Structure 1
Amino acid sequence: MFDSRRMCVAWGLALLVAVAPRYAAADDDDALTLEKLNRTIEQNPRQPDAYLYRGLIWQERGELERAIADFGAAIRLAPKSADGYAHRGIAWQELGKLENAVSDFGAAIKLDPGDDGTYVLRGIAWNLRKGYDEAQRDFDAAIRINPRNAAAYAYRGSVRQKRGDLEQALRDCNAAIRLDPQSAEAYVARGMIWNSRGEHDKALRDYDTAVKLDPRNAEALTNRGIVRQKRGELDLALADYNAALELKPSAAGTLALRGQIKQARHETSQALRDYDAALKLEPENAESRLQRGILRHSQGKVDLAIKDWSEAIRLDPKNAAAYSQRAAARGMKKDFGGALQDCTAALRINPQLGSVWHLQGWILATCPEAAHRNGERAVKSAQRACELSEWKDALAVETLAAAHAESGDFAAAVRFQKKAIEIIGKDKVNSPDARSRLALYEARKPFRDDS
């Protein structure tokens, strides 16, 4: 979460300063300036600078369609000027029309290939489109043109962090901070790298610095909230998310993060409102789908939860958590074949998911439908679940006992069931079901989960 709009708006200040003296009202009142510009354009509709300046005012007001129209007029009047293309590209980017933004920035670069700022702008657009190779090439070009462009280093660091090149990313962000120690964005970018490396204390320090430099930096607040959430500081995280949303109410990612906090605090209706709002803004966000599905499942709305997880998987086929959650829900609905398919998919993506090995082993060992039972596979799955839990999870050990019973090795089943009961006893949990299953195995009978 790195605020590219700040770079875009800052880039426009040079043009604003250049043309403002001709059109600005004496008291810098935007409304009066706009009135003066309207009169100027009416009297002489062939002044490209007037359209550019009016477009900037529309853009600052958030009236982006009007801004785009004025920048388009400036381009028609001065087709050899890069400014109109660059500023229209910024407006397209703010509207989320990233393909149009890349095209306009490209046109600006063709007209003025020596402007490092436009390369940074196009790199930002590529970054938002997840075109990380193209983004890095543009940031490289900006740095070649101007080795003191701190923003180019910071954004290149952000791209390298996303690509997993954390050492190079850290070097870039350090360079950005050396060049511009007052850049809140550079500290945000470096904080993201520390966070990726699991160095949460360092990340927190950088986000604190960013907030001190710019208390209205919503990205710094959101990212600080993420670190605080990881540290279990839920009240502080919630305060950061609330502050960020006051500044950027339409930040879908922050809404979803706040929803997680509300969910953890059992404020279910508020959490659902945040997830719904996030998905209204970004319906293609797989993580928000995943989290809303978890919430719906906790409410007993299993079919709606499965629908959310299925959509999360469609949006992100590598989302192991969505497969894992859907597997458990399908098992509850006695769709054992679907549950096993989801277990396989989740483990193909992330073979370290002990809970999924456990679920897979349990279905293979205890399914009431013989077609889905397989004692040999069940033993292997349960064994892996036990290993991943370092043999401390009683349920995983119970699954291994059930798997051995399904395989016909009742001596092993009894041995592991007793071990599970021993773990349960250490946890001071009374489990009559565990003892009844032990009696079954001692009677050389497998367990069938008909619940």
Structure 2
Amino acid sequence: MPITITTTVALVLSHFAAPVQPESKGNEHFESGAEAHAKRDYEKAIREYTAALTREPKSVAIYEARADAHAHNGDPLAAIRDLSEAIALDPNRARTYAARGNLRCRLGWTEKAIEDLTEAIRLDSAQATSFYDRGLAYARHGDHKKAIADHTTALRLDPDMAAAHHARGVARGTLGEFDRAIADFSECIRLDSKYARAFHNRGAAYRVQGKLDKALADLGEAIRLEPREPSHYLARAICYRLKRDFPAAFTDCDEAVRLDPKNPVALCHRAAVCLVTREWEAARKDFDEAIRLNPNYADAFMHRAMLIASCPDPRYQDAPLAFKDSKRACELTEWKNSAALEAYAASLAALGDFESAVKWQKKVLADDVYMRTEGTSARKRLELYESQTPFRPDPGPRRD
């Protein structure tokens, strides 16, 4: 269960750092709204801006200010409606398109986000933040090469933009360019030594390269900077597992669960450590809870399927449920995830259908990317199924 290099969408409506002035002076409702806005009393700000619009119904600035308040108050759809009204009133304001594109990206509407940000850039090509935001939208859309190009342009316009170095590093890491990703994360850290996510992602890149001590150092720094962020602990737990320090791995996973007990990812990571240390009951309990919390979490289904299909302890074997779990995992991943396919093959073997198990395991062996890291175990499983033998993992060390 690897943790991938990640990024975040830019701050919502960062183009409106402070409420702008309305077209006319003396609108007391706007002034009251701006005061509440500055104090982060967004509900009052929205009420006052709404009243202000009754006096100035064609004020683009008031629509923009209310959009910002809606966004910070957790209602991005209302914010988008206000920005659309502003654009209808004045279609030549680059920052309004940029702000709407930013929000659309946050909602996962990447095509619309890219359209908005492209228009913002057409209207004002000197704003680094618009290129940065469009780069994030391209990355979320899956076009990491275009993301890199936009982040590079953002850095040409603003060489000290730490976030653009970080985002470009994420895109490069996603493409497997780990040396260049590390260089970007390092430059981000040079510009902003408190950028915890850059330490996290540089650590993740070092881990992929097998430089575990460097990875642990970076992840430790991320934890120091953000001690209540569960993903830092989960990333460090992976490194500890690779170093076969299972007590440390369990401690980090346990802390991630303590910080976010309703996070199915953290529960699955803790269960993964329990699998290695032969704590079958604890692993099953965590997988069950992860599925209860998120009935569409494919990883939980595939790993519970592998546990109950292949557990050396017959008390925890349940081939029929393993088959259902693995099929569900394959459906959730559109039958394209090789780890889910391996679980499916293992469940078929547990049911005694070795012919089908061989068929599906061979599909796993056709995945060159998956085989780079899992090839040895995948080939061993195929040999077992061909010899009419179900898979049973090698016994690992106990945590105690």
TM-score range, shorter chain: 0.7 to 0.9
The letter for the 2-side match of 1:377 is: S
The letter for the 2-side match of 1:51 is: S
Structure 2 runs not aligned, ≥5 long: 1-6, 396-400
Q: What CA distance in whole angstroms lies between the structure 2 residues aligned with 1:222 and 1:78?
A: 47
How far did 1:95 drift? 3.7
Contact 1:224 1:240 in 2 (8 A): no
Larger CA deviation: 216-225 vs 108-117: 216-225
How far did 1:54 drift? 1.0
Q: What CA distance in whole angstroms lies between the structure 1 residues aligned with 2:74 and 2:261?
A: 16
Q: What CA distance in whole angstroms lies between the structure 1 residues aligned with 2:353 and 2:219?
A: 47
Is 1:322 the counterpart of 2:300? The answer is: yes
Cross-structure match for 1:47: 28
Cross-structure match for 1:338: 321
Cross-structure match for 2:3: none
Larger CA deviation: 237-246 vs 119-128: 237-246
The letter for the 2-side match of 1:343 is: S
TM-score (norm 2): 0.74
Q: What CA distance in whole angstroms lies between the structure 2 residues aligned with 1:172 and 1:189?
A: 10
2:233 to 258, 262, 273: 258
Deviations 1:85-111 (A, max 9, x none): 323322332343222222222233233
How far did 1:179 drift? 1.7
Q: What CA distance in whole angstroms lies between the structure 2 residues aligned with 1:124 and 1:88?
A: 16
How has the CA–CA distance of structure 1 residues 341 and 97 changed in structure 2, closer, same or farther, with 3 Å as cutoff?
same
How has the CA–CA distance of structure 1 residues 229 and 68 changed in structure 2, closer, same or farther, with 3 Å as cutoff?
farther
Q: Compare the two structures and name the one with the higher helix fraction.
A: 1
The letter for the 2-side match of 1:235 is: L
Cross-structure match for 1:58: 39
Cross-structure match for 1:277: 259
How far did 1:200 drift? 1.6
Q: What CA distance in whole angstroms lies between the structure 1 residues aligned with 2:175 and 2:252?
A: 32
2:168 to 162, 167, 190: 190
The letter for the 1-side match of 2:36 is: G
Is 1:148 the counterpart of 2:148? The answer is: no
1:300-315 matches, cutoff 5 A = 300-311=281-292, 314-315=295-296
Cross-structure match for 2:4: none
The letter for the 1-side match of 2:356 is: R
Q: What CA distance in whole angstroms lies between the structure 2 residues aligned with 1:77 and 1:205?
A: 53
Cross-structure match for 2:69: 91
How has the CA–CA distance of structure 1 residues 51 and 14 changed in structure 2, closer, same or farther, with 3 Å as cutoff?
closer
Contact 1:310 1:326 in 2 (8 A): no
Cross-structure match for 2:106: 128
Contact 1:362 1:399 in 2 (8 A): no
Q: What CA distance in whole angstroms lies between the structure 2 residues aligned with 1:155 and 1:50?
A: 30
How far did 1:290 drift? 4.1
Contact 2:287 2:300 in 1 (8 A): no
Is 1:208 the counterpart of 2:186? The answer is: yes
How far did 1:270 drift? 4.8
Q: What CA distance in whole angstroms lies between the structure 2 residues aligned with 1:394 and 1:11?
A: 56
1:398-417 matches, cutoff 5 A = 399-400=384-385, 402-403=387-388
Q: What CA distance in whole angstroms lies between the structure 2 residues aligned with 1:3 and 1:374?
A: 46
Contact 1:222 1:244 in 2 (8 A): no
Cross-structure match for 1:137: 115
Q: CA RMSD in A?
A: 3.9
TM-score (norm 1): 0.67
How far did 1:338 drift? 2.2
How far did 1:118 drift? 1.7
How has the CA–CA distance of structure 1 residues 343 and 166 changed in structure 2, closer, same or farther, with 3 Å as cutoff?
same
1:116 to 94, 108, 129: 94
Contact 2:15 2:99 in 1 (8 A): no
| Number of residue-to-residue matches in the alignment | 362
**SS, match of residue 4 in structure 1:** coil
Which one has a bigger Cα radius of gyration?
Answer: 1
Q: What CA distance in whole angstroms lies between the structure 1 residues aligned with 2:105 and 2:59?
A: 25
Q: What CA distance in whole angstroms lies between the structure 2 residues aligned with 1:193 and 1:400?
A: 39
How far did 1:129 drift? 0.7
- The higher-RCO structure (CA 8 Å, 6+ apart) is 2
How has the CA–CA distance of structure 1 residues 176 and 98 changed in structure 2, closer, same or farther, with 3 Å as cutoff?
same
Contact 1:3 1:185 in 2 (8 A): no
